[in-house]
Amino acid sequence: MPVRGRSEPGNQVYIDGEPQEVAADGSFQFADVPHTASQQFLITTSYQDVVYGSQAVTFAAGQNTLDLPVVVYETTADPAEVRIQQMHVFFEFNPGSVTVGEVYIFANLGDRTLWRPGGTLDFPVPAGAAELQVPQQAEGSDWVRTSDGLSVIAPVVPGQQSSQVVFTVSLPYTDRLDFTQPVLYPVDSANVLLPDVGVKLSGNLRDDGRQSIQDTAYQLFSAENIAANGALAFQLKGRPGSAEAAAGNSSSLSVAVGIGALMAALAGIGYWLYERRRPQPAPARLPGSRDGLLQAIAELDDAFENDAVEEREYERRRAQLKARLLKLMQDE
C-alpha cells in the first residue's frame, strides 16, 4: 500500500534506513509498503541528535489516513530544570552483604530536552558499593561508569515523569551500615523499603509504618525536599534474621507514604522486590531489530487487548520496547 506524508522542505526522509525522494514542498510517498491487520506504524525524527517518536498505531479496515504528531524540542546540557520527583530505595539482605535497589523518576520542568551525548544524568553510588548493575540496559551504549558511579545516556524530554533510572549495588553488611546516597538533583520525595528481618533504621526520616508486600513485611520510611547536591542518609543496625524480626508483624499500621506511587515504581522496574523472591526463568531478551521490536509491540498490544497481560506490566513493557526502538533508530 502507498504511504504519503509531509515534512519540512529540505528534510531527508527514510524508510527502513533508505533515503526517499522528497518534493520541493516537503511531500513524500512510500510505495508498496507491506501491510497486515496487525502491522504497526510509527514516525520518528531526529533533531539535534535526539530521536523523537510518535505512538505506534495500526491502520483500521478501510482507513487511509493517520494523524501521527511528533513533538520535538530544543536541547540543553544544563540540568537546572530537572528534578527527581520520586526516589525509591530497596534493601535485600544476603550473607555478609546487602543488595540495594534504587529507582529515580525524573521530571523536566523546562521547555528543552536535557541531552549530553556522553552521559545525560549522573549518579554517584554509596561509598564502598560494588556489583553495579543497570537492569536491561547495555553498558557503553545506555550507560557508562564514572569515577564515582554511573552516567545514563538518555534524553530527558520536558514533562512530568519523563524519565526513569534504575540501578542496583551491593554493600558489605554484617550488623551495621552508615548509608549515604548522594543526589545531584533536587528530590521531591524519597521512600525507603526495609524488610522486617530484625534490622533497624535510624536517622532523620519519617517512619511511615509497616506494609505487607507479597506476604513479606516491610518497614517504610520517607523524606521530602532533599536539595541538589544533598544526600539521603541514615543508619542500619542489627543482624538480619534476629528475633526482633517478629516484633509487631501482626499489627496493621496505616501507611502515610504514597503506596500507589510506590507500586507504580515497582512495576516500572519489573517488580524488582517481587520477582527476586521466587525462582524466575531467564529474562526475555529484547529484539535486536526494528522489525522485531515493532512485532513485539504488536504482539504485546494483542495480549493486552485479550486480557493476557496486566495493565501495569503492559505499560512497562511497551515503554521499554518503544525506548529500545527509538534508541536503535538513533544509533543508526
Residues 121-141 have pLDDT tens digits of: 999 999 999 999 988 788 888
Strands 113-114 and 75-76: what pairing?
parallel
Q: Are 106 and 162 in contact (CB under 8 A)?
A: yes
Per-residue pLDDT of 152-195, as tens digits, reads 998 999 988 788 888 999 999 999 999 999 999 999 999 998 98
- Contacts from 244-253 at CB under 8 Å and sequence distance 24+? 244/198, 244/200, 245/196, 245/197, 245/198, 248/196, 248/210, 249/196, 249/210, 249/217, 251/210, 253/209, 253/210
For 303, residues 6+ apart whose C-beta sits below 8 A from its C-beta are 309, 314
What cell numbers appear for 77 in the block? 546540557
End-to-end CA distance of the chain: 26
Backbone angles phi, psi at 240, to 5 degrees: -60, 135
The residue among 226, 233, 332 whose CA lies nearest residue 289 is 332
CATH fold of 79-275 reads: Immunoglobulin-like (2.60.40)
What cell numbers appear for 32 in the block? 508498496
- For the entire predicted model, the pTM comes to 0.71
Tell me what pLDDT residue 259 has.
36
Listed ranges 11-15, 168-172, 291-295, 302-306; the one with the highest mean pLDDT: 168-172
Q: Are 150 and 199 in contact (CB under 8 A)?
A: no
Band of the pLDDT at 260, cuts 50, 70, 90? very low
The residue among 286, 261, 285, 290 whose CA lies nearest residue 42 is 290
How big is the chain, counted in residues?
Answer: 332
Percentages helix, strand, coil for the chain, rounded to the nearest 5?
15, 40, 40
Question: Ramachandran region of residue 119, left (φ > 0), alpha (ψ -120 to 50) or beta?
Answer: left
pLDDT, average across residues 25-38: 69
Report the Cα 313 to chain-centroid distance in Å: 13
Q: Are 166 and 183 in contact (CB under 8 A)?
A: no
